Amino acid sequence: MGLFSTKPVSAVINQPNGAQELTITVRGGYSPNKVAVKVGVLVRLTFDRQEEGDCTEYVVIDEYGINQQLPPFAKTTIEFTPTKVGTVPFHCGMGMVHGKIIVGA
Partner 1 sequence: MREAVLKIGGMHCVSCATTIKRSLTKVGGVRSAGVNPATEEAVVEVEDNVTAESLKQAITSVGYSVVSQVWRTSSSGAVQPELERQQKQEEFKRRELERLWRKFVVGAVLSVPVLIGSYPSLVPFLEPSLLPYLLFVLTVPAQFWVGGQFLRSAWYAARARAATMDTLIALGTLTAFTFSAVVTFAPALFTSLGLAANLYYDVSAVINTLIVLGKYLEARAKSRANEAIKALLKLQAKTARVKRDGRFVDVPIEAVVVGDFIQVRPGEKVPVDGEVVEGHSSLDESLVTGESIPVEKTKGDSVVGATINTMGSFVFRATKVGSDTLLAHIIDLVERAQATRAPIQRLADKVSGVFVPVVMGIALLTFVVWWLWGPQPAFLFGLVNAIAVLIIACPCALGLATPTAIMVGTGRGATMGILIRNAETLESAGKITTIIFDKTGTLTEGKPVVTDLVPASGVSQVELLRVAASLEASSEHPLAGAIVAQAQERKLDLESVSDFTAVPGHGVTAKLKGGTYVLGNDKLMARQGVMVGGLAEQANALARAGKTVMHLALAQSPLGLVAVADTVKPEARRVVESLRRLGLEVLMVSGDRKLTAEAIGRELNLSGVLAEVLPERKAEVVRQLQAEGKRVAMVGDGINDAPALAQADVGIAMGSGTDVAMETAGITLLGGNLKNVPNSILLSRGTMRNIKQNLFWAFFYNVLGIPVAAGVLYPALGLLLNPIIASAAMAFSSIFVVFNSLRLKRIRLEGGETI
Q: Does 23 help bind partner 1 (rule: CB under 8 A)?
A: yes
Contact residue for partner 1 among 52, 84, 87, 104 (CB under 8 A): 52
Q: Residue 61 carries which side chain, given as an amino acid letter?
A: I
Whole-number minimum distance, CB 56 to partner 1, in Å?
8
Residue 91 interacts with partner 1 (CB under 8 A): yes or no = yes
Residue 103 near residue 39 (C-beta atoms within 8 A)? yes
**According to the binding rule CB under 8 A, does residue 51 interact with partner 1?**
yes
Burial of 74 (0-12, 13-18, 19+ CB in 10 A): exposed
End-to-end CA distance of the chain: 29
Question: At its nearest, how many Å lie between partner 1 and the CB of residue 105?
Answer: 29
